Amino acid sequence: MRRKQPYNRPDRFGQHVQRELANILLKGPLRDPDARPVIITHVGMSKDLRVANINVQVHAEGEEKVKAVEALQRAAGFLRRKLAPRLSSRSIPELRFHLDDTLDEVDRLAQLLQNLETNDHESTLEPDES
């Protein structure tokens, strides 16, 4: 018999915020010149549902990623007002944006592993000089 997952309001509300915020961002770009298209990877809600920690991935390089997240943070008030009519909650959460660099780390680790394999392969090809 399968056990039911306990009802977790912050997780479910976070998923709802994620869907609605993604729809808002898809409908129209922000006017900020530093804004870039983003992927919302996760929304973590505080237990009292007053703060939404939003992890985003930005398709850009280096400093542009940081600027894009800062642009989202500057637009947080605007996004919060757009989000308000879409949520069935008394209070609309404060939006806090964070850069999710998980894919960058995965790429970096894959590159390191590839370099190790290449070095290992080269060392097996070299004759022993004993």
For 15-53, write each residue's pLDDT tens digit: 999 999 999 999 887 888 888 889 999 999 999 999 999
pTM: predicted TM-score of the whole model, two decimal places: 0.76
* pLDDT tens digits, one per residue of 94-120: 999 999 988 777 877 888 888 887 776
Mean pLDDT across the chain, nearest whole number?
Answer: 87
In a domain, 117, yes or no: no
Find the domain containing 56 and state its range.
9-101
In a domain, 123, yes or no: no
pLDDT of residue 125: 60
Distance CA 101, CA 23 (A): 22
In a domain, 41, yes or no: yes
Total structural domains in the chain? 1
In a domain, 43, yes or no: yes
* Total length of the chain: 130
pLDDT of residue 89: 86
CATH number for the domain spanning 56: value is 3.30.300.20
Distance CA 95, CA 40 (A): 13
In a domain, 115, yes or no: no
The residue type at 86: R
